[in-house]
Structure 1
Amino acid sequence: MSGTDDRPRNFGELAPSVYPGERLGLPESGPRSVARAGRRILALLIDWASAMLVSLLFTPYESAAYTWVTPLVFAALQVVFIPTIGGSVGHRLLGLRVVALVGGWVGLWRPIVRSVLLTLVIPAIVWDSDQRGFHDKVAGTVLLRG
């Protein structure tokens, strides 16, 4: 092994991205670039509203059960739609899709892990310089523009 290896040896030595997705080999803008915060948040609001509407079919709004059913429905919708249509309803309406970093089909375990962490909220608000939330990092996914 030569002494000219410039790769980081510790986690803290990894330089931040110049633009979101640079370290992942993704373009700075346009198709296949990392989805930006505005679309991500709007997609999340669409998905949460959808979960609220579906929850109303099972529980009254004023009930304590509604408080628990809504996050479960939200997670279930994510788990069903990410592997089947490439993203949640909110993602797809806004031209976004969830892909596995390793390529290929996202599978079943990634949407489950991603959705469980997303419903805990905190992992979703912790982002790196590639604008990937902790839920995406753990699941090995990235949210891309169309």
Structure 2
Amino acid sequence: MKFMSIEIGNKVEGKITGITHFGAFIELPGGKTGLVHISEVADGYVENIKDVLTVGETVTVKVLKIADDGKIALSIRKAVDKPESERPKPRPQGKPSSSGGRRQQTSQGSFEDKMDRFLKDSDERLSTLRKQTDSKRGGKNTKR
């Protein structure tokens, strides 16, 4: 096994020493241990991490973060080099789109359509909740 220093951004090989419902513990070179959170195991949704990883397996991980207390955050999915065509495109956050400030419509409708559906659903839920709580408050033995 080739030894690389454990620094943020480095890829290293490690051995899975334990698996929990939230991630897997990886023994790194130099005797250090890091954690791969379940969200960093694969690109898709992982319901049960034991379906993907096994104790004793050797994996390549990328060092994401080293906390002040020595905890090391790792990623298996980010350690895999993918061709440019397979990489997910980053989503713009809070930036206007290139269509002059108007958002492009998706197959499920525009933002305004989605917001209208959300507001309608929310109003229906609130109405149902109010009816249920009012009927509980207005019973025969209630003092007013």
| TM-score, reference length from structure 2 | 0.22
Structure 1 or 2: more helix by fraction: 1
| TM-score, reference length from structure 1 | 0.22
Structure 1 or 2: more strand by fraction: 2
